[in-house]
């Protein structure tokens, strides 16, 4: 799938921008604060109906304006024209696909798959377990609707169960009632599905990580992701283990009125040659690993969904050396269409630029084509 | 223009109903205003009848015009099978199929701690009393396959198993006449897991 053109009206600093893209790599260059990342944000909007940065649609409207509009043209075997219009007065966003209004975001999500690498990705390898769970869950959910439904079911069960635990605490009933037993059983059933799916995923995903790592690093080090579930006990009888752990924590759960164990507390461990990245990794290794993870996500989604995602890379070369940057840019030529922002024009000489690649200069919300 | 207070009251009351917004309520109110007196009177009677004539069956909590509902009174129904459902509308849905000849038990909801629904606020104790009083061969749990419905089924199964009564849950899978390719992933997945030998 190729995004062939985009038109922006009153979208942040872009008052009126119209760009035709290359089907290969699009290098977006310019100084700080000129509107490079905004271009990526607008593409993300087109693919997912929401921003990856702004919390509210009203945040991205150009100052002193009442609305914004993003139009995009996707070319697959067929053409799809997508238009997003937001009116500040109504505080309402309209999404049109081929001039027909789409009312449910679910109808759009997954239609135009997108993989985004941003500086915020540092949280995946350096942040808290919840950042890692969020990353892994989002990758699996994009490939499996069943997983997403299980996850929603599990999260709902967690909320209900914690409410019930609070009520029991208030009533000073520090023992398992039949009602709590039922919610516990539901928690185990739904949670075990999640754990099993995550285990399967990590096994599969390791292949993709290793492949991307070897291309970018050109080394025979072995990278990996391991799933640390239910306090790292590591057996295969998930259901039994899960309910055993829950009965061990019974008193504590009742006392603290919260769900203390389950996939919502698990962690993932990234490693290089079995050394924990979080403990031993340098800044550069972290950055490289984050890049590797997004490439792995890209190829994983491509294989699982049979759709080629659009790849957005925001300031990926900022912290990497010349050699690494050049490897990544040549790797990208295998990807299909990609959009990369760069701060420094001179960097371009190191990149493996192909003939069909495009260079765009962004300055104060205006875009011009380079060579 | 100021809308007359009587009309405004009618609109406000109508728009409290589910699925009815201000505009629809307004249209309904004007339509009632234009109708003949007879029509309006029979509408009022029908509405009042809902509250004054209909009760919940003392046995199964289905809707009934008497103490006991038609299903509980009928001697054609198998009293040794009870189908547990969430709402009265579920009884109607199952009755339409003509496939079921047992009796019902309407819970009036499902367990939902967040909304403050506890086992005590549902007709669960009444169900246990029924199970104790007469010989029951089977209890069918026909609750919705969502988070709360499934948990309520687990809860009931736990309570009923102690009484040594067979508990079943209705199957889930593909709709009849439906296309496999149009069903959602989770449903197809469940249907494959729940396959049967032919």
Q: Which of B61, B164, B149, B160 is nearest to B111 (CA)?
A: B149
Per-residue confidence (pLDDT) for residue B95, from 0 to 100: 94
Q: Report chain B residues whose CB lies below 8 A from the CB of A304.
A: none
A182: nearest CB among B114, B151, B185: B151
Domain boundaries, chain A: 1-113+307-371, 131-305
Mean pLDDT, chain A, rounded, equals: 90
Q: Which residue has the tokens 């996939």?
A: A263
Axis-axis angle for helices A145-170, A178-217 (nearest 10): 140
Write out the residues of chain B at the interface with chain A, using a CB-CB cutoff of 8 A: 111-114, 118-119, 146-148, 150-152, 154-155, 158-159, 184-186, 189
Q: Answer whether residue A195 shows pLDDT above 80.
A: yes
Report the alpha-carbon distance of residue B94 to residue B103 in Å, rounded: 11
Per-residue confidence (pLDDT) for residue B123, from 0 to 100: 95
Report the 10 Å Cβ neighbour count for A215. Answer: 15
CATH number listed for the domain at residues A131-305: 1.20.1050.90
Multiple choice CATH, B63-192, 3.20.10.10, 3.40.1360.10, 3.40.50.150, 3.40.50.2300: 3.40.1360.10
Residues of chain B with CATH 1.10.8.420: 5-52
> Which residues pair with residue A19 across a beta bridge?
A6
> Which residues pair with residue A67 across a beta bridge?
A87
Largest CA distance in chain B: 70
Is B114's CB within 8 Å of A163's CB?
A: yes
Cβ-contact A68, A11 below 8 angstroms: yes
Asked if A11 reaches chain B (Cβ–Cβ under 8 Å), the answer is no
Residues of chain B with CATH 3.40.1360.10: 63-192
Per-residue confidence (pLDDT) for residue B196, from 0 to 100: 83
B156-185 per-residue burial string, b: 16 or more CB within 10 A, e: under 16: bbebbeeeeeebebeeebeeeeeeeeebee
B159: nearest CB among A150, A178, A186: A178
B155: nearest CB among A144, A150, A182: A182
- Residue A71 phi/psi, 5-degree rounding, is -120, 145
Is A159's CB within 8 Å of B112's CB?
A: no
Chain A, residues 88-147, CB within 8 A of chain B, namely 144-146
| pLDDT tens-digit map of B37-96 | 999 999 999 999 998 888 899 999 999 998 999 999 999 999 999 999 999 999 999 999
Residue of A nearest to B186 (CA): A146
Is A146's CB within 8 Å of B186's CB?
A: yes
Mean pLDDT, chain B, rounded, equals: 91
Give the pair of three-digit tokens for residue A27. Answer: 């290098």
| pLDDT tens-digit map of A297-315 | 999 999 998 888 999 999 8
| pLDDT tens-digit map of A22-64 | 999 999 998 888 889 999 999 999 998 889 988 899 999 998 8
Report the alpha-carbon distance of residue B167 to residue B93 in Å, rounded: 21
Tell me the pairing of strands A366-369 and B55-56: unpaired
Asked if A173 reaches chain B (Cβ–Cβ under 8 Å), the answer is no
Report the alpha-carbon distance of residue A212 to residue A334 in Å, rounded: 11
For domain B5-52, give the fold.
Helicase, Ruva Protein; domain 3 (1.10.8)
Residue of B nearest to A166 (CA): B113
With residue B172 as reference, give the H or E element that holds it.
none
Q: How close A194 gets to chain B, by Cα (Å)?
A: 14
**Superfamily of the domain at A1-113+307-371:** P-loop containing nucleotide triphosphate hydrolases (3.40.50.300)
Give the pair of three-digit tokens for residue A35. Answer: 């509107």
B27-64 per-residue burial string, b: 16 or more CB within 10 A, e: under 16: ebbeeeeeeeeeeeeeeeeeeeeeeeeeebbebbbbbb
Give the pair of three-digit tokens for residue A277. Answer: 């990245």
Q: Answer whether residue A86 shows pLDDT above 90.
A: yes
């Amino acid at each position: 799938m190729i995004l062939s053109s985009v038109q922006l009206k009153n979208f942040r600093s872009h008052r009126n921008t119209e760009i035709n893209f290359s089907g290969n790599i699009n290098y977006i260059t310019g100084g700080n604060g000129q509107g490079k990342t905004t271009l990526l944000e607008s593409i993300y909007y087109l693919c997912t109906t929401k921003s990856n940065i702004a919390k509210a649609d009203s945040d991205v409207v150009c100052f002193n304006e009442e609305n914004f509009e993003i139009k995009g043209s996707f070319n697959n075997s067929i053409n799809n024209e997508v238009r997003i219009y937001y009116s500040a007065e109504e505080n309402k966003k309209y999404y049109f696909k081929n001039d027909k209004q789409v009312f449910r975001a679910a109808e759009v999500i997954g239609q135009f798959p997108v993989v985004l690498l941003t500086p915020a990705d540092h949280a995946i390898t350096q942040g808290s377990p919840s950042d890692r769970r969020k990353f892994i869950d989002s990758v699996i959910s994009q490939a499996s609707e069943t997983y997403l439904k299980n996850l929603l079911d599990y999260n709902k069960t967690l909320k209900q169960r914690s409410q019930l635990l609070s009520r029991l605490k208030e009533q000073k009933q520090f023992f398992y009632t039949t009602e709590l037993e039922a919610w516990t059983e539901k928690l185990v059933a739904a949670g075990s599905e999640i754990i099993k799916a995550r285990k399967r995923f990590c096994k599969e995903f390791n292949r993709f990580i290793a492949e991307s790592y070897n291309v970018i690093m050109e080394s025979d080090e072995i990278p990996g992701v391991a799933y640390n579930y239910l306090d790292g006990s590591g057996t295969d009888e998930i259901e039994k283990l899960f309910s055993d752990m829950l009965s061990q924590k019974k008193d504590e759960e009742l006392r603290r009125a919260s769900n203390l164990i389950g996939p919502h507390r698990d962690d993932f461990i990234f490693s290089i040659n079995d050394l924990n990245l979080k403990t031993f990794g340098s800044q550069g290794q972290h950055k490289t690993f984050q890049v590797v993870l997004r490439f792995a996500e890209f190829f994983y989604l491509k294989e699982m969904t049979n759709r080629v995602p659009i790849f957005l890379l925001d300031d990926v070369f900022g912290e990497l050396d010349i050699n690494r940057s050049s490897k990544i840019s040549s790797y990208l030529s295998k990807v299909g269409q990609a959009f990369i922002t760069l701060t420094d024009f001179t960097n371009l000489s190191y990149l493996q630029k192909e003939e069909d690649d495009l260079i765009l200069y962004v300055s104060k919300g205006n875009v011009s084509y380079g060579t | 223009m100021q809308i007359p207070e009587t009309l405004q009251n009618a609109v406000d009351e109508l728009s409290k109903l589910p699925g009815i917004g201000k505009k629809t309520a307004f249209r309904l109110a004007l339509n009632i205003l234009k109708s003949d007196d007879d029509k309006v009177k029979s509408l009022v009677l029908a509405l009042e009848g809902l509250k004054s004539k209909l009760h919940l069956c003392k046995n199964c909590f289905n809707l009934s015009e008497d103490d006991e509902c038609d299903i509980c009174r009928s001697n054609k129904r198998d009293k040794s099978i009870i189908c547990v459902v969430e709402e009265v509308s579920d009884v109607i849905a199952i009755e339409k199929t003509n496939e079921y000849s047992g009796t019902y038990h309407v819970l009036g909801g499902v367990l939902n701690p967040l909304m403050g629904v506890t086992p005590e606020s549902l007709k669960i104790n009444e169900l246990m009393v029924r199970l104790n009083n007469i010989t029951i061969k089977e209890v069918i749990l026909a609750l919705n396959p969502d988070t709360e419905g499934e948990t309520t089924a687990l809860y009931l199964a736990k309570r009923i198993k102690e009484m040594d009564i067979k508990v079943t849950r209705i199957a889930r899978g593909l709709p009849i006449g439906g296309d496999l390719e149009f069903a959602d992933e989770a449903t197809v997945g469940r249907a494959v897991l729940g396959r049967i030998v032919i």
